[in-house]
Amino acid sequence: MRYLLAFFALLTLIVVGIAGFRGGTSRKPPIELFPDMDRQPKLRPQTPDPFFPDGRASREPVPGTVARGQPFEDTPFNTGRVPGTTNFVETLPVPVTAALLERGRERFTIHCSPCHGQQGDGKGVTTKLGMAVVGNLHDPRIVRQPDGEIFNTLSYGKNLMQGYAPNIDLADRWAIVAYVRALQLSRLATLEEVPAELRDQLQK
Ligand code: HEC
């Protein structure tokens, strides 16, 4: 019992000694029990700081930063759909140039040909590895689809196919759509559509 009383008296002294002087002023430097918490090597937002040449602690966002909650621009280029509707756009929202097709050919070879084959006929290398149903891009059902639907399929996937939006940026996805159209045309065009000076080469 005596020890308990002595301990209690000591504890009271310690508590009063530490807590009792809180808020009091003193000329002596304060005791910092955890100095690394009092003084953290970090920058506080909206404060001056000499660390960066412009003297500001807050940094400008990296160019191209998309703010959280920033409204997604409802344009055909971003969505493949007619703005304000769920209808797919009929044609590409970008001008079709030789450079676009060349880019599309390259990207198609990288991202699509393993499954769909270099010609888009669905006979890619993965069919040999057991992938049974791969869409044949020359299927009339797919030829009739609007450009926006192809864009949607390759962006977000369809049935067994996964989406490639995270892997391929928007402009490249449209380049691929343009190239898929060129592939389809390569099987559908008539001889009359080929420029006269090139027809001979084809008939050989
Ligand atoms: C990993 C294999 C794989 C890759 C890579 C792939 N696809 Fe597919 N794709 C499929 C399969 C499988 C289907 C058939 C899906 C089904 O109907 O179940 C398909 C179907 C399609 C269709 C037809 C969709 C429909 O309306 O039925 C289109 C168009 C298409 N792919 C375009 C592309 C394009 C463009 C790329 C390149 C960006 C691509 N795919 C890459 C496997 C792939």
Q: Pick the residue with more confidence: 151 or 123?
A: 151
Query: Residue 145: how many CA atoms within 13 Å on its side-chain side?
Result: 21
Please say whether the beta carbons of 173 and 164 come within 8 A: yes
The phi-psi region of residue 135 (left if phi > 0; otherwise alpha if psi is between -120 and 50; otherwise beta) is beta
pLDDT of 132 strictly over 90: no
Averaged pLDDT, 12-41: 83
Burial 150-161 (b: 16+ CB within 10 A, else e): bbbbbbeeeeeb
Neighbours of 148 (CB within 10 A): 21
Q: What pTM value is reported for the model?
A: 0.71
- The tens digit of pLDDT for each residue in 44-67 reads 889 998 889 999 999 888 887 878
Q: Which residues pair with 161 in a beta bridge?
A: 158
Confidence of residue 29 (pLDDT cuts 50, 70, 90): confident
Q: Is 138 in the pocket of ligand 1 (CB under 6 A)?
A: no
Q: Residue 164 is which amino acid?
A: Y
Q: Is 137 in the pocket of ligand 1 (CB under 6 A)?
A: yes
Please say whether the beta carbons of 116 and 137 come within 8 A: yes
Confidence of residue 68 (pLDDT cuts 50, 70, 90): confident
pLDDT at residue 101, rounded to an integer: 96
Q: Which of 57-66, 150-159, 160-169, 188-197 is least confident?
A: 188-197
pLDDT at residue 163, rounded to an integer: 95
Domains for the chain: give ranges and CATH numbers.
Answer: 76-203 (1.10.760.10)
pLDDT of 85 strictly over 80: yes
* 120 CA to centre of ligand 1 in angstroms: 10
Q: What residue has token string 């080469």?
A: 201
Confidence of residue 204 (pLDDT cuts 50, 70, 90): low
Q: Pick the residue with more confidence: 64 or 187?
A: 187
Q: What is the DSSP letter of 83?
A: T
User: Cα(188)–Cα(38) distance, rounded to whole angstroms?
Assistant: 74
Q: Which of 121-135, 141-155, 168-182 is least confident?
A: 121-135
User: Cα(76)–Cα(11) distance, rounded to whole angstroms?
Assistant: 73
User: Cα(154)–Cα(179) distance, rounded to whole angstroms?
Assistant: 13
Averaged pLDDT, 5-33: 85
Q: Which residues pair with 81 in a beta bridge?
A: 88
Protein residue with least CA distance to atom 42, ligand 1: 161
* 74 CA to centre of ligand 1 in angstroms: 25
pLDDT of 171 strictly over 80: yes
Mutate to test the pocket of ligand 1, among 111, 158, 167 (most ligand atoms within 8 A of CB): 158
- In terms of Cα–Cα distance, which of 108, 84, 129 is closest to 175? 108
pLDDT of 165 strictly over 80: yes
Q: Is 180 exposed, middle or buried (0-12, 13-18, 19+ CB in 10 A)?
A: buried
